Structure 1
Amino acid sequence: MMFCFQCEQTAGGKGCAKSGVCGKQPEVANKHDELTCALVGLARAAQDKDPGKKGEELMMQALFATVTNVNFDGPRIDELKSLVQAEKEKLGGAKDLAVDVLWKGDTDLVSLRSTLLLGLRGMAAYAWHAYVLGKEDDEVTAWFFKGMRAIGEEHTVEEWLGLIMEFGQVNLKCMALLDEANTSAYGHPVPVKVPTTIEKGPFIVITGHDLLDLQQLLEQTEGKGVNIYTHSEMLPAHGYPELKKYPHLKGNFGTAWQNQQKEFDNIPAPVIYTTNCLMPPRASYADRLFTTSVVGYPGLKHIPENNGVKDFTPVINKALELGGWAEDKKLTGINGGSELMTGFARNTVLGVADTVIEAVKAGAIKHFFLVGGCDGARAGRNYYTEFVKKTPKDTVVLTLACGKYRFNDLNLGEIGGLPRIMDMGQCNDAYSAIQVAVALAGAFNCEVNDLPLTLVLSWYEQKAVCILLTLLSLGLKNIYLGPTLPAFISPNVLDVLVEKFNIKPISTPEADLQVILG
């Protein structure tokens, strides 16, 4: 038996008890819980002490490993737990949290504790991506230890809410840190059209979020006759000047993560998973999958890191062996479009702020929608496609994360030379959206909540949770959330969020647009 309710697709909308909808087996789910409880022990041992670099790295890596669709490999989880225990003993030791405490107790207190824990897991992924690019923030790192100690403590509802709002502010710093890490390494993204046709010959598909992995892969494949294609959340990489300069970074393969079992079926190329989005592979392509970082799945080949360098030679050799397709293969988005645009991060949008502001003042732009977040397989997610299709022609759709694959191949035209759909990047690039919203509020001398801006969010896993908590900590209200509400949010906690922030569950595109636009 197991218990897990951390993702949107959890069984029955309540919790996975026999096996994970994601494919996670009870043995691995329980190992994730044991690892989490060991991290509480590490955080306790580090109180009033310096946990050291190894302790800090393990805190981020181990939390990251427990995010949905990251690590299904029991022995790898055991190894992480052993390393955590060793670091804890170096600090003098402390008692781990009892596993049965994690998900049991008063419903509302479990809900609040779980919300904080799942947010911490999401932030760990962002912090790790920044860390491998040489960027860290002492407050962010320290808060992992503070937060994990809190998970093992008793708190009142008011104290939990205070911790959660404090966490939201810290996660904003973490997203700013990752933004700085990415832009200082690869430049500010610029708008770019990304083809979805796969050219004939050997190629490699790289999925996930880690831009350093992509950079090293591009460097190691230069001049070898192997083309590189992004998948899912790696699409925004095409906008970064230091990555797009590689001519063999050709385009994007497929759509969002939940379609991989169909889209990777018999693919004549290897696929590298750099972060979460791994689904149990089918036999037709399991032999050509590779994992790296904290990603793991039984039987898949893993590319380790050695002093900051990953040797992708096995992946390159596999690409050459498989050979790719004999002729160019035209792929499309789910709406039939054959070209995607990305690169509209904060630097680009704020660079044309005067144009945007004038368009608003002149009435050419009546409303902004941020339609973004995670995609998933549950029925009802076509809501986001229909919502975007039905937005009036005098409105702009900002988007980010993999939820955009529901509509990012649509051509909705332009306003003042700007496309009506603007892809701001990965899920962590919610930071870009926040900066644009703050800048617009400043230009119009109003609060963000007073802008003609509505957030329509789709959630799936823990990075969406930490972003939502950041938005709430900033006081943003009237957020539309779907396709279902989180199972870990109890009715009473939901009542608090609705009362304080007016969070709204999505209904139908027509009804929601009617309410939003009046």
Structure 2
Amino acid sequence: MENKNKMFCYQCQETAGGTGCTVSGVCGKTPELAAMQDLLVYVTKGLSAVTTQLRRENKTVDKSVNRLVTENLFTTITNANFDREVIVRQISRTLEVKDGLLAQVEKKDELPAAARWSGGESLYEEKASGPDVGVLSSKDEDIRSFRELITYGVKGLAAYNYHANQLGKEDTDVDLFMQRALAQTLDDHMTGGNLLALVMETGRYGVRGMSLLDSANRESYGNPEITEVSTGVRKNPGILISGHDLHDLEMLLDQTQGTGVDVYTHGEMLPAQAYPAFKKYENFAGNYGNAWWQQKTEFESFHGPVLMTTNCIVPPKDSYKNRLFTTGAAGYPGCVHIEEDKNGDKDFSALIEMAKTCQPPEELENGKLVVGFAHNQLEALADKIVDAVKSGAIKKFVVMAGCDGRSKARKYYTDFAKALPDDTVILTAGCAKYRYNKLGLGDINGIPRVIDAGQCNDSYSLVQIALKLKEAFGFDNLNQLPIVYNIAWYEQKAVIVLLSLLYLDIKHIHLGPTLPAFLSPNVANVLIKYFGIAGIGTVQEDMETFMGTSNELIRGDMIVGDIVQQYPSLVPVMTSCGLHCIGCGVSQMETLDEACMTHGLDTQDMLDILNEQLRGQAE
């Protein structure tokens, strides 16, 4: 059937109707821009197929091509670049590079169509609207779902890779994997099983990419320190920097010295306040505002110029559009874009001169936020945290990392945080923190109840924290820890974080406010069955699930293998009740409900026996 949609995109959580944007993007992108972004992804996959084949033929590919692939992917993530002309230039540049490399390939007949296609700008619109470009080019719903899950994961990985590259850090294996994975999404011989394996491999490289960026940030700016950040304003004019790029912040702070202009962070730049290297700048003021989606109000009241360093752009109002500058992979038509020179330096003098003519920021609030709980800081607090857990002062950690967004359903996360018992601690990273980092939840024996590890880019710290606790308690796997996962997602960086957690075999992650639209029912069921992925319910329902307020540690929807792994003492109990084959691979992947049904057992009786056994052990 012919596709009648003006566009089709479902890569973010806010996609229209929870199914896909077909008329225009909820993010603000037009069908014309969406088409060019689809074509850029298509030609980038084609380039990746060529580079992958060249490496199979033992030929060298210049590392500048790795940077091009990373930049292209980062440019197409949600809310990053709305400038069609920029995307068109990237397509042309990519085709030029690809055509040069294609001439070196010996076995061209083994390449997919995307690797062989080329054409001038006059052909772009026609090609973009063709049947082999865009999400719907994969006709099989499940194959499409796997391919998009991998593509979005690789986009998120590209974002981490981009920031590490900006600080001079590279991992060739990460680059090669990204290109191979993109090429494999074009391979019609890849079955669902093959693609599921590639999903897990994407998670493996996600951990590696996050580690690379973590090292790059710490080596460049020092280990983050626990820091109190002012949310008030000063009397000087200011520049507001938003997005994620710490290298841009460094250059801006250097250039504003002695100018009388203060620099404020916004959104995901808040964690930059914790790096020692930035504390030497006297004009590095506090944090202004909240998460990205509130910028239309907050940028208006800031009065001064705003620098968007990465994604998180909301189409600006005319009243401040002339004050919005972009740089790096970010872009918006009509806004001045700050390019880097051949040495990677940027000239921010236009912002500085504009700031001098502007009024100081209008105060939105006046308080303090505590940031800087990266893994090195929590390692220093490890003994104190372990003691608090062993004494019962801390009963549970709740990972509430990820993204914030405009959806009213996201109020759930604020209400959930408010409803948490006083003996729980929130572990967070990303702009989801703005839902609860100003609630004044207090501390437990000096340990804050909201531990902010940083940007979504810093989710690696949460992994390291979990691994350190696992070591401290002598557990065999991360699922035995008193940690539960209630994660909000919005865009593709959240996707790579999720895949990284799955690779680490973390089970029973709840994902909201909705499950991704790009997960077909069958693919979603695979993730539910093998990893216990779930959506969110009401705050009360989820509080009972996470906090065990129903006094049931074992539930019918739990995987038998997970129960065996977390509670080995229950194995003889289950066996004595009639689950005689719980050691076999098939039964271990069943839920307890399914296993009881297979063996003709009453699930509720089994739950009563198992939970009573656990309560007896705890007494």
Listed as ranges, the matches of 1:32-51 within 5 Å are: 32-46=37-51, 47=53, 48=55, 49-51=59-61
1:267 deviation in Å?
A: 3.3
Say which SS state the counterpart of residue 198 (structure 1) adopts: coil
TM-score for the superposition, normalised by structure 1? 0.97
CA distance in 2, matches of 1:76, 1:268: 28
Indicate whether 1:103 and 2:151 are aligned. no
CA distance in 2, matches of 1:413, 1:322: 38
CA distance in 2, matches of 1:175, 1:225: 36
> Which of 374, 377, 382 is the aligned partner of 2:411?
382
1:470 deviation in Å?
A: 0.7
1:323 deviation in Å?
A: 3.4
CA distance in 2, matches of 1:367, 1:30: 46
CA distance in 2, matches of 1:146, 1:283: 43
The higher-RCO structure (CA 8 Å, 6+ apart) is 1
1:266 deviation in Å?
A: 5.0
1:77 deviation in Å?
A: 0.4
* Contact 1:61–1:124 (CA under 8 A) maintained in structure 2: yes
> Which of 376, 391, 403 is the aligned partner of 1:362?
391
CA distance in 1, matches of 2:11, 2:26: 11
Listed as ranges, the matches of 1:221-232 within 5 Å are: 221-232=256-267
2:204 aligns to what? 169
Say which SS state the counterpart of residue 489 (structure 1) adopts: coil
TM-superposition CA deviations, 1:11-66 (whole Å, max 9, x none):
11010111000000001100011111111111122122333122111100000000
1:76 deviation in Å?
A: 0.3
Could you list the runs of 4 or more consecutive aligned residues of structure 1 that deviate by over 6 angstroms after TM superposition? none
CA distance in 2, matches of 1:350, 1:508: 34
Say which SS state the counterpart of residue 302 (structure 1) adopts: strand
1:317 aligns to what? 353
Q: Which segment is superposed worse, 83-92 or 98-107?
A: 98-107
* Contact 1:266–1:284 (CA under 8 A) maintained in structure 2: no
TM-superposition CA deviations, 1:373-431 (whole Å, max 9, x none):
01000111011111111111111111110011011112111112111111110002110
CA distance in 1, matches of 2:321, 2:102: 43
RMSD after superposition: 1.2
1:288 aligns to what? 323
CA distance in 2, matches of 1:339, 1:204: 20
Listed as ranges, the matches of 1:105-254 within 5 Å are: 105-154=139-188, 155-254=190-289
TM-superposition CA deviations, 1:421-464 (whole Å, max 9, x none):
11110002110000110110111111110111011100000000
TM-superposition CA deviations, 1:315-354 (whole Å, max 9, x none):
11111121324xxx4323xxxx722111001000111101
Say which SS state the counterpart of residue 318 (structure 2) adopts: coil
1:213 deviation in Å?
A: 0.3
AA of the residue aligned to 1:475: D
Gaps of 5+ in 2: 1-5, 104-110, 116-126, 549-619
TM-superposition CA deviations, 1:457-490 (whole Å, max 9, x none):
0000000001101111111001111001100001
2:547 aligns to what? 517
CA distance in 1, matches of 2:369, 2:302: 21
AA of the residue aligned to 1:214: L
Indicate whether 1:464 and 2:469 are aligned. no
AA of the residue aligned to 1:27: E
* Contact 1:165–1:473 (CA under 8 A) maintained in structure 2: yes
TM-score for the superposition, normalised by structure 2? 0.81
1:54 aligns to what? 64
| Identity score, percent | 46
CA distance in 2, matches of 1:455, 1:187: 29
Indicate whether 1:31 and 2:23 are aligned. no
Say which SS state the counterpart of residue 409 (structure 2) adopts: coil
1:449 aligns to what? 479
* Contact 1:346–1:433 (CA under 8 A) maintained in structure 2: yes
2:565 aligns to what? none
1:503 aligns to what? 533
AA of the residue aligned to 1:347: N
> Which of 461, 476, 482 is the aligned partner of 2:512?
482
1:343 aligns to what? 372
CA distance in 2, matches of 1:349, 1:480: 24
1:330 aligns to what? 363
CA distance in 1, matches of 2:90, 2:357: 34
Q: Which segment is superposed worse, 3-12 or 95-104?
A: 95-104
CA distance in 1, matches of 2:388, 2:433: 24
CA distance in 2, matches of 1:345, 1:144: 27
AA of the residue aligned to 2:96: A
CA distance in 2, matches of 1:269, 1:57: 33
Say which SS state the counterpart of residue 401 (structure 2) adopts: strand
Say which SS state the counterpart of residue 387 (structure 1) adopts: helix
CA distance in 2, matches of 1:373, 1:50: 38
* Contact 1:237–1:244 (CA under 8 A) maintained in structure 2: no
Indicate whether 1:396 and 2:446 are aligned. no
CA distance in 2, matches of 1:500, 1:464: 20
